[in-house]
Amino acid sequence: MIYDSLTTRYTFACPERGDTTVALSRFRRLERLPGAAHPAVFRVRFECGCGEEHPGLVSHAELDWAPLGLGTGDSFLNLMTARLDALEAELADLAATKIGAGEWPWSFFCYPENQSRPVFPSSFFLLAPSGHGGTLGLAVRCPVCGRTSINLVSEQHVDLPFHNDAEIGVVEHVFSADRAQAAEEFASELYSAQFDARRLTLE
Ligand SMILES: [Zn+2]
Ligand SMILES: [Zn+2]
């Protein structure tokens, strides 16, 4: 397991430092590997503490479920103690209770649909410091309409499940369906754009 729910960080390899740990907000690109792998695997690039970007691999479960305390069964093989198992069960219960009460672990504002939507990190595909007051530019592919939006959010909005910023920035731009082109548009919009503040209200 490369995700640690105590620190909300992922462990990856760094050529300089050996193992390094980063939060989700330090991911820069996520791409689902092609093929019918079950569970799905994502290739990511992350910004390492050493100052470079490195590649890493993350499973779908580690992206979307591990932060909610929903492990993959063998998640605590290395750290197996009664206490950690109990913690995992507690986290999972808490997540289930919150979701049942209509709170979503992650959300974003879908610009083409003009509404807030629940989302999981596997729908994030580009992240970068925005240059606007310590916020993060986040490109999300909407799980409902399939189109891409850029939101401006806090690091906690990404890193901490159930922490949803009350207000986020939205880039008023409808993205190209083409992946490579969308990545270019992301960079240019992020650094030039005017952001519109939207309230994240999930119905
Ligand atoms: Zn490094
Ligand atoms: Zn949408």
- Full pLDDT tens readout for the chain, 203 residues: 588 878 889 999 999 999 999 999 999 999 999 876 677 899 999 999 999 999 999 998 899 988 888 765 444 443 444 555 666 777 778 888 888 888 889 999 999 999 999 999 999 999 998 877 788 999 999 999 999 999 999 999 999 999 999 889 898 887 777 777 878 888 888 777 667 777 776 64
Cβ atoms of 151 and 186 within 8 Å: the answer is no
What is the 64 CA–ligand 2 centroid distance (Å)? Answer: 19
Q: Which secondary structure element, helix H or strand E, spans residue 32, and what is its range?
A: strand 27-32
Q: Which residue stretches of 82-141 are H helix? A: 82-100
Indicate the burial class of 34 (C-beta count within 10 angstroms; 0-12, 13-18, 19 or more). exposed
- How far is 156 from 134, CA to CA, in rounded Å? 11
- State pTM to two decimals: 0.85
Q: How much is the pLDDT for 91?
A: 75
Please give the distance, rounded to the nearest whole angstrom, from the Cα atom of residue 51 to the centre of ligand 1.
6
pLDDT score recorded for residue 63: 92
7 within 8 A of 20, measured Cβ to Cβ: no
What's the pLDDT at 58?
Answer: 94
pLDDT of residue 111: 92
**How many angstroms separate the alpha carbon of residue 84 from the centre of ligand 2?**
37
Q: What is the pLDDT of residue 136?
A: 93
